[in-house]
Structure 1
Amino acid sequence: MTNPLLAEWTGPFGLPPFDAIEDADFGPALEAALAEDLAEVAGVADAAEPPTFANTIEGLIRCGATLDRVTGVFFNLAGSDSTPAREALMREYSPKLAAHAAAIYGNRPLFDRIRSLWERRETLGLNDEQARVLMLVHRNFIRAGAALEGDDAARMTAIKQRLAVLGTSFTQNLLADERDWSMPLSEADLEGLPGFVVAAARAAGEERGAAGPVLTLSRSLIVPFLQFSPRRDLRERAYKAWVARGAGGGATDNREIAAEILGLRQERAALLGYADFASYKLETEMAGTPAKVRALLSAVWAPARAQAEADAQLLEERMHADGVNAALAPWDWRYYAGKRRKAEHDLDDAALKPYLQLDRMIEAAFDCANRLFGLEFRALDLPLYHPDARAWEVTRGGAHVAVFIGDYFARGSKRSGAWCSAMRMQGKFPKVQHPVVVNVCNFAKGTPALLSYDDARTLFHEFGHALHQMLSDVTYDMVAGTSVARDFVELPSQLFEHWLEVPEVLRRFATHVETGDAMPQEMLDKVLKAANFDQGFQTVEYVASALVDLAFHEGAAPAVPMAKQAEVLAALEMPAAIGMRHATPHFAHVFAGDGYSSGYYSYMWSEVMDADAFAAFEDAGGAFDPEMARKLEKHILSAGGSQEAEALYLAFRGRMPGVEALLKGRGLAS
């Protein structure tokens, strides 16, 4: 029978035939796609005709269509619905795919053709997007080591293969620790927990086949448990398990893996002539240099730490008033912060959550996209890769724009966190293709599912990434959508979060799960007033992680990353009651791949812009100002990576912002 991954996909919107794909299909499909891609690339590299943009750059872009289709499905499933077979395939094919990419970048005849075009670029008559694509292709080859020769070239290939193996191991170890740990909860252990936490614990127990409710390491369950459980002993046990992911010893321990990754990255940078990996990685980002990253983080650290220390004193006083005569610990912070928030803002998450139904928050995100950009969403009844996943056709003026897939619930087969990916990117060459965009979250299941305010913000955040993909309007898919500098990619996502806080959005869509009544104005006012509550804590745990990431990659790679982490935190005088948002053994942003390595700061770099960008809407006439929405789509969302990030932002806003907007937005400056 024909392998469904290799056959033409003739179903609606050219979606993969998920109901026909089996795990056994991936290996043969990947082998066939890899061989086909190499043959196609060889055809471009060995062409007898002199190199032109059409026969070399566009020729290269034409290559690998089958491989893109197969990996688009495989990597989405491997992250969102892992199986033992898929994990084995990841371990087998991660180094193969790295070697495949190295073979292409190491193809000297191909690189010679690209270099020839680069040297003659001013005479080729290219339009702006073509010139950008030529620059990116040439730069990608240089940064991949295409100019290396002999032993250096061979070593670069070996490093990339080993990094692929290590990144896969890091991810799978973390998934295993998250999947395998649970804490049974007796009826007495449930006392004091709001109904939505109890329901989520019971659902987690059912999903795991347990006899009763359990606590898992899913953020959507453990964070509210830490916030609401009056049992300090249980909070301590849960918190310690949460932060010990990847550091429990044995087969799933990630500490030695992290050390080897850092050493290989340093060696890779040195082969390419860079002082360290941070200098290599940041060269193509908006920040440009480690010094500029450190300057931003340092400017934020001092006021954030001061606020956190002041808050810690108040929380410890509350704890002592409860009769707990101990120092405030990390497993105490959320519990007493919740009590303080209720006292100071009269806002209780248990009372708020019934107004934040998942389906209504999805509707809210869709409605904002409609009012801003004219997008419409129609639910689709199609076979997808998991029963929890849902799909919508996205249209504008009756014309098809994209397919959007939402996969919102936590499960043991899904890695932690939330992300946006594309099974198919937008493009017009060699033929028009519309994107297939996926948002993956880890919300607790319920009937109906209820979100925390942070969950709702996460939904809007990931949908902002999805809009960047869906509204892309470029010719070449290599610059489509989120194919931008890492410290620019979070701008659309973080900017879209602001629409959740628009009062008219909450008034319309934050309706009570039982009565259907809109959120009372008094509660709405409290929600918005408390938006910056506990920002000292949130900023400190984030900036500490970003500074540790930078320290890992700036200068010589540390032989013992945990010792380096401790050194950085000591130098920062990290508040004792706050932990890093992502400690080294479970810092997947940095160690699961190169994506955010030396780049975890990028959320804050983008936040400098998103605060300023939303202010542009408010200054112009409100959150739904049509002219600002048009400018946002034209200069940022539709442009992808077709220009430098700074040029895109300047075209949208007319100037670059300073850090003041960020500090004010977080309530850390007046």
Structure 2
Amino acid sequence: MTNPLLAPWDTPFDLPPFTAISDADFAPAFAEALELHLAEIDGIADNPDAPTFANTIEAMEGAGEALDKVLSVFFNVAGADSNEARQALQREFSPKLAAHSSAIYSNETLFARVRDLWDRKDDLDLTDEEARVLYLTHRGFVRAGAALQGDAAERMKAVKERLAVLGTQFTQNLLKDESDWMMLLSEDDLAGLPDFVVDGARSAGEAAGKDGPVITLSRSLIVPFLQFSPRRDLREKAWRAWSMRGENGGETDNRGIAAETLKLREERAKLLGYEDFARFKLETEMAGTPDRVRDLLMQVWEPARATATKDAAEMEAMLRADGHAGPLEPWDWRYYAEKRRKALHDLDEAELKPYLQLDRIIEASFACANRLFGLDFAPLDVALYHPDARAWEVTRDGKHLAVFIGDYFARSSKRSGAWCSAFRSQARRPVEKTPVVVNVCNFAKPSKGKPALLSYDDARTLFHEFGHALHQMLSDVEFGSVSGTSVARDFVELPSQLYEHWLEVPEVLAEFATHAETGEPMPQALLDKVLKAATFDMGFQTVEYVASALVDLEFHSGPAPADPMQKQAEVLEGLGMPRAIAMRHATPHFAHVFAGDGYSSGYYSYMWSEVMDADAFEAFEEAGGAFDPATAEKLEKFILSRGGSEEAEALYMQFRGRMPGVEALLRGRGLAA
């Protein structure tokens, strides 16, 4: 136990001892923890005593403690601060983990114990949560192929291992394409760009060791460049690089990986007796079937497309007025949308951004959590995995609840996007665990000595990820397998998207949107313009998202396409996709779907959850305001604290008393007729 990953952690709040861990520690710790977990599983399976919930299900919940510690550290650090050594370890670990999972789920003796308990469930006098964990455990075994025999069982094992390899390769190819590309700008190329974009480009150039400012493929840098640069040629160059990640030929091309992944997923579903992967995947989600998903997305698609088409016509006229023959192209949309926003709402992001300081928006997210749920956040002076990361202790009424880590700035070693993860999830059995939660974002890092400024979209992202963190930090269940965000995929985005609404509460912006230089609060006139423009360009945002969700659904419905790019084109053509809008995530960089199994057939989940989050925020408004204490108490009691301890629909019904329709979503997006 000399390996720091396996030795007892004598650290504040049992945080990982980051300063003691080196990359050389991961492989031996992984091998030892894997072996230990299998021994624990064998001990449970071979227990001579008759199966009970305690000696089988609860024992499985407690098994793998060492492996959980090793993997939580490794995968969190590998995602947020990768290097060649960690990428090589990911490639090594992924198939081994898939084989390890297969070994557990194909353990016939273990499955026999689980099945025995399942068959006797009505006679076991279980609590509601125990019954739920037994149900999920049995279902997990069946869906993993535990009932398969002979060649089918061996083939399932091989399919899973290959899918694990492909997902890792997809992620690493994408990271390489994103980190390798940059566009060096001359001083003349900076003309027309606001100070915050210039500052971000200079900072990125310094970080990359370049003699001058650069535009990278970090969303927080390339999007404002596309918004503000009057140089149409440079916008096109930047947009093409951004849109063609994973599609550049050579070793990092992801198109073949996508095709093989879809074929293997189809085979996996058919081995288990399903017609296609979408039916297999959606069986356990709130939506239930591909038809219900398709119906929701199409209800939103038509009004969104109509709005976007109208907006495109207006912007194409602006393009022609600038002396360009047209037509409006994808690299033009954000530039002319920004001009149009200024014309319609007299709102300029360059004017708005100094009021959205990162530190103040973090304070705002904490303050809302304090008013809603009584949480307090105190900075911690602890060693973390990167100098940019920082930590807070989370308490309520003086009692420790969690540790929250924020890692906000983009860097070449960090995969793109934003996410919430955990170094440790909450549980009470078999042992008490308090959560250690991390939010990772990719905001542009300012030059030394200057404050970090966010776009409004960045600020919304921060609130979104913090909503996920609250789901983890307020979890109050017995078993880790159902704690926090361990819920149906199309329910997991409810807390995160709901929390975004508090950013737009006028009193929150009035208090925390203060100018980076003067400290003055946002003027009421500007605040009014921000709130009035909240649904501006929503046709574009909805179309790019729904197109991606529908492509994902059709990829997995029916036979797997031999050529995913052709299938993508066919789906978009059938939808009448506007020329000047691209999918938010084209297939070769659609990490939600191809970097792992999480959102495969499930990218629609954001919109399914949005139907609920729009309705849930209306519950606050109906009760008298965004901080109504009784509604906040119900939100925590029935959703945030309960994790996956009940079916998602039942939890929402307990909170709201009914399931919502799509009307609140359309109103919230400004798409209602």
What TM-score does the superposition give when structure 2 sets the normalisation length? 0.99
CA distance in 1, matches of 2:515, 2:61: 50
1:3-57 deviations in Å (ceiling 9; x for gaps): 1001001110000000010000000000000000000000000110010101000
Residue 604 of structure 2 corresponds to 601
1:55-88 deviations in Å (ceiling 9; x for gaps): 0001111110000011000000110000100000
- The equivalences for 1:339-350 within 5 A come to 339-350=339-350
1:616 aligns with 2:624: no
Q: 2:528 aligns with which of 512, 525, 529?
A: 525
- The equivalences for 1:280-359 within 5 A come to 280-359=280-359
CA distance in 1, matches of 2:62, 2:323: 69
- The equivalences for 1:434-449 within 5 A come to 434-446=434-446, 447-449=450-452
- The equivalences for 1:7-46 within 5 A come to 7-46=7-46
1:213 aligns with 2:216: no
Residue 572 of structure 2 corresponds to 569
1:349-405 deviations in Å (ceiling 9; x for gaps): 000000000000000000000000000000001110000000000000000000000
Residue 633 of structure 2 corresponds to 630
Whichever residue aligns with residue 569 of structure 1, its letter is L
Residue 505 of structure 1 corresponds to 508
CA distance in 1, matches of 2:659, 2:62: 37
SS in 2 for 1:278: helix
CA distance in 2, matches of 1:598, 1:70: 30
Q: Structure 2, unaligned stretches of length 5 or more?
A: none
CA displacement at 1:95 relative to structure 2 = 0.3
CA distance in 2, matches of 1:71, 1:205: 33
SS in 1 for 2:492: helix
1:202-250 deviations in Å (ceiling 9; x for gaps): 0000111111110100000000000000000000000000001000000
CA distance in 1, matches of 2:672, 2:278: 30
CA displacement at 1:418 relative to structure 2 = 0.1
- The equivalences for 1:426-437 within 5 A come to 426-437=426-437
SS in 1 for 2:326: coil
CA distance in 1, matches of 2:578, 2:342: 23
- The equivalences for 1:515-554 within 5 A come to 515-554=518-557
CA distance in 1, matches of 2:342, 2:78: 41
Residue 389 of structure 2 corresponds to 389
Whichever residue aligns with residue 657 of structure 2, its letter is G
- The equivalences for 1:152-301 within 5 A come to 152-301=152-301
What TM-score does the superposition give when structure 1 sets the normalisation length? 1.00
SS in 2 for 1:466: helix
Alignment RMSD, CA only?
A: 0.5
Whichever residue aligns with residue 609 of structure 1, its letter is M
Residue 56 of structure 2 corresponds to 56
Whichever residue aligns with residue 465 of structure 1, its letter is H
1:491 aligns with 2:494: yes
Residue 77 of structure 2 corresponds to 77
Deviation above 6 Å: which 4+ runs of structure 1? none
1:126 aligns with 2:126: yes
Whichever residue aligns with residue 354 of structure 1, its letter is P
- The equivalences for 1:141-156 within 5 A come to 141-156=141-156
1:399 aligns with 2:402: no
1:116-142 deviations in Å (ceiling 9; x for gaps): 000000000000000000000000000
CA displacement at 1:431 relative to structure 2 = 1.4
CA distance in 1, matches of 2:78, 2:110: 32
Residue 478 of structure 1 corresponds to 481
CA displacement at 1:548 relative to structure 2 = 0.2
Q: 1:639 aligns with which of 639, 642, 647?
A: 642
1:474-514 deviations in Å (ceiling 9; x for gaps): 00010000000000000000000000000000000000000
Q: Which range moves more in the overlay, 659-668 or 489-498?
A: 659-668
1:139-178 deviations in Å (ceiling 9; x for gaps): 0000000000100000000000000000000000000000
SS in 2 for 1:487: coil
1:648 aligns with 2:651: yes
Residue 108 of structure 2 corresponds to 108
SS in 2 for 1:407: strand
CA displacement at 1:407 relative to structure 2 = 0.2
Residue 664 of structure 1 corresponds to 667
CA distance in 2, matches of 1:556, 1:296: 23
- The answer (yes or no) to whether the contact 2:293–2:604 under 8 Å persists in 1 is yes
SS in 2 for 1:4: coil
CA distance in 2, matches of 1:164, 1:376: 40
- The answer (yes or no) to whether the contact 2:218–2:416 under 8 Å persists in 1 is yes
- The answer (yes or no) to whether the contact 2:59–2:430 under 8 Å persists in 1 is no
CA distance in 1, matches of 2:118, 2:666: 42
1:582 aligns with 2:620: no
Q: Structure 1, unaligned stretches of length 5 or more?
A: none
CA distance in 1, matches of 2:332, 2:360: 32
CA distance in 2, matches of 1:206, 1:117: 61
Whichever residue aligns with residue 548 of structure 1, its letter is V
CA distance in 1, matches of 2:642, 2:130: 13
Whichever residue aligns with residue 509 of structure 1, its letter is F
CA displacement at 1:451 relative to structure 2 = 0.1
CA distance in 1, matches of 2:381, 2:190: 38
CA displacement at 1:326 relative to structure 2 = 1.4
1:317-347 deviations in Å (ceiling 9; x for gaps): 0111111111000000000000000000000
Residue 379 of structure 1 corresponds to 379
SS in 2 for 1:395: strand
CA distance in 1, matches of 2:262, 2:484: 30
Whichever residue aligns with residue 221 of structure 2, its letter is L
Whichever residue aligns with residue 124 of structure 1, its letter is L
SS in 2 for 1:488: coil
CA distance in 2, matches of 1:213, 1:206: 8
- The answer (yes or no) to whether the contact 2:284–2:488 under 8 Å persists in 1 is yes
CA distance in 1, matches of 2:146, 2:31: 24
Whichever residue aligns with residue 615 of structure 2, its letter is D
- The answer (yes or no) to whether the contact 2:217–2:242 under 8 Å persists in 1 is yes
CA distance in 2, matches of 1:88, 1:235: 35
CA distance in 2, matches of 1:628, 1:377: 22
CA distance in 2, matches of 1:580, 1:265: 23
- The answer (yes or no) to whether the contact 2:420–2:468 under 8 Å persists in 1 is yes
CA distance in 1, matches of 2:195, 2:182: 20
Whichever residue aligns with residue 463 of structure 2, its letter is F
1:170-207 deviations in Å (ceiling 9; x for gaps): 00000000000001000000010000000000000011
